[in-house]
């Protein structure tokens, strides 16, 4: 399995037999400087943690260009259906969807989920974390969240080995609290910090998190450069 971080909370995951994009905020992202179409080429699926614009991002364009299926909560699927998409796998907290090459289970996250259009706020269901199983690995993408004690149950039930962990503060956990969440609740073999370095009002680097995680190692990938697990 090959994982490519595309800045902020966006990922491309290449499985044997499928390509999954997660929260593909690319064309409007201050930190992603590549070609969004090239980064998403061949995408078969797109998974969304919640409905904020910096997570839905380029979903519509990517799905239309590649024929990708969108995996998200029911309300987000309805919103994107109104924008012209047709292929969906809707779900909600606790549910699992088997996509063949991989599966996605929705778990809770402490955040919000809405979008603003024409001056109106549209509620987009509960925010989610994602448990992704494929190619012998289990990933926990926490989405945008604070620490919460039921992370212990997520560890007990799902046993994730790879964590995508928000660290930027202001809208999610900061680095020190994110490190506490990893150390207290999980036994990750690979930890990737996300949701930082994008906007001036969130942390610009992963340093706080990396320092708080010591002596455990943290994988801080270069944007657009994939790595194998």
Chain segment 46-101, per-residue pLDDT in tens: 999 999 999 999 999 999 999 999 999 999 999 999 999 999 999 999 999 999 99
C-alpha–C-alpha distance, residues 31 and 113, integer Å = 22
Distances (CA, A) of 215 to 28, 45, 65, 194, 211: 35, 36, 43, 20, 8
Average per-residue pLDDT in the chain? 97
Q: Which residues contact 114 (CB under 8 A, 6 or more apart)?
A: 51, 52, 121, 122, 123, 124
Chain segment 49-61, per-residue pLDDT in tens: 999 999 999 999 9
Set out the domains of the chain in order of their start, with CATH numbers. Answer: 2-222 (3.60.15.10)
Under 8 Å between Cβ of 131 and 139: yes
Q: What is the pLDDT of residue 16?
A: 97
Query: Which structure tokens are listed for 210?
Result: 């990396």
Q: What percent of the chain has pLDDT over 90?
A: 99
Classified as helix, coil or strand, 216 is: coil
């Amino acid at each position: 399995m090959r994982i490519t971080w595309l800045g902020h909370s966006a990922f491309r995951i290449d499985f044997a037999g499928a390509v999954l994009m997660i929260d593909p905020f690319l064309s409007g992202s201050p930190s992603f400087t590549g070609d969004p179409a090239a980064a998403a080429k061949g995408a078969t699926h797109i998974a969304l943690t919640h409905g904020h614009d910096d997570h839905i991002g380029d979903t519509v364009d990517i799905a239309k260009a590649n024929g990708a299926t969108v995996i998200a909560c029911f309300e987000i699927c309805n919103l994107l259906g109104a924008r012209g998409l047709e292929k969906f796998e809707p779900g909600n907290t606790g549910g699992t969807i088997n996509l063949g090459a991989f599966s996605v289970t929705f778990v809770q996250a402490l955040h919000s989920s809405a979008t603003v259009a024409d001056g109106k706020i549209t509620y987009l269901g509960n925010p989610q974390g994602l448990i992704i199983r494929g190619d012998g690995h289990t990933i926990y993408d926490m989405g945008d969240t604070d620490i919460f004690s039921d992370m212990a149950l997520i560890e007990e039930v799902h046993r994730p080995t790879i964590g995508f962990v928000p660290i930027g503060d202001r809208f999610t956990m900061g680095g020190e609290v994110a490190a506490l969440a990893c150390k207290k609740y999980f036994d990750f073999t690979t930890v990737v910090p996300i949701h930082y370095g994008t906007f001036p009002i969130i942390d610009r680097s992963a340093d706080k998190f990396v320092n708080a995680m010591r002596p455990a190692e943290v994988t801080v990938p270069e944007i657009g450069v994939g790595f194998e697990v």
